[in-house]
Amino acid sequence: MEEIINKVANSSLQVFDLEDYYVSGIRTQLDISQWLYEGFLLKEKDFREALKNHDWTQYKNHFVSIYCSSDAILPAWASILVTTYLSPFAQKVVLGTTIDMETYLYQDALSKIDYSVYKDKPVILKGCSKKPVPESAYVMAIQLLQPFAKSIMYGEACSAVPLYKVR
C-alpha cells in the first residue's frame, strides 16, 4: 500500500484565518427608539431623563452598537449623548449594526499584524468560519496581504479560488 502524503501540509502555503483575530466578548445592540416618544419623536427633556434613569451597568465589558430601529430623524448629539453614558462601562461603542462593530474590531486587530511573514509566499485566505467574520474583514485582509504575498487564494486548500498572483 502506498503512503498517503499530505501535500498541503508539506507546501509553503500559508493559511490566513480571520477567525484567529476574532475579538471575544458580548455584543449588544442598543436601540435608541426605546427612548423616543412613540418610537419616533425625540423630546429632549424626556430623552435626557430616560437616559439618566437607565441602568448602564448592564453593558459592563460589552461591545455595544447603537442604532435606531424606527425611521426617526435624530440629531447627531442623540447618539453622542448615549455614548457618554455607555463609555464608562462598555469595552467599545460603535454607531451602527453589529456588522459595523465586527468591522471595527477586525480593522483594529488586522492593523496590528506583521504581514512581512507572508513575503513571497502563497497564502490562502480561509473562507469558512464558525465565528461571525464580516465580508469587510476579508476586503481589509486582502489589501494588507497583497503587498507581501506571492499569491492569494480564498477558501480551503482543497477547493481554493485564486484571487491574486504576482505578475
* Crossing angle of helices 44-53 and 76-86, rounded to 10°: 20
The x, y and z cell numbers of residue 45, run together, are 427633556
pLDDT grade, residue 6 (50/70/90)? very low
Whole-number Å distance between alpha carbons of 32 and 107: 25
What was the pLDDT predicted at 95? 97
Whether 85 and 56 have beta carbons less than 8 Å apart is answered as yes
Whole-number Å distance between alpha carbons of 13 and 2: 24
Question: pTM of this prediction?
Answer: 0.85
Task: Supply the mean pLDDT for the chain.
Answer: 93
Average pLDDT in the 60-82 region?
A: 97
Tell me the Ramachandran region of residue 38: left when phi exceeds 0, alpha when psi lies from -120 to 50, beta otherwise.
left
Of 102, 95, 88, 86, nearest to 134 (Cα)? 102
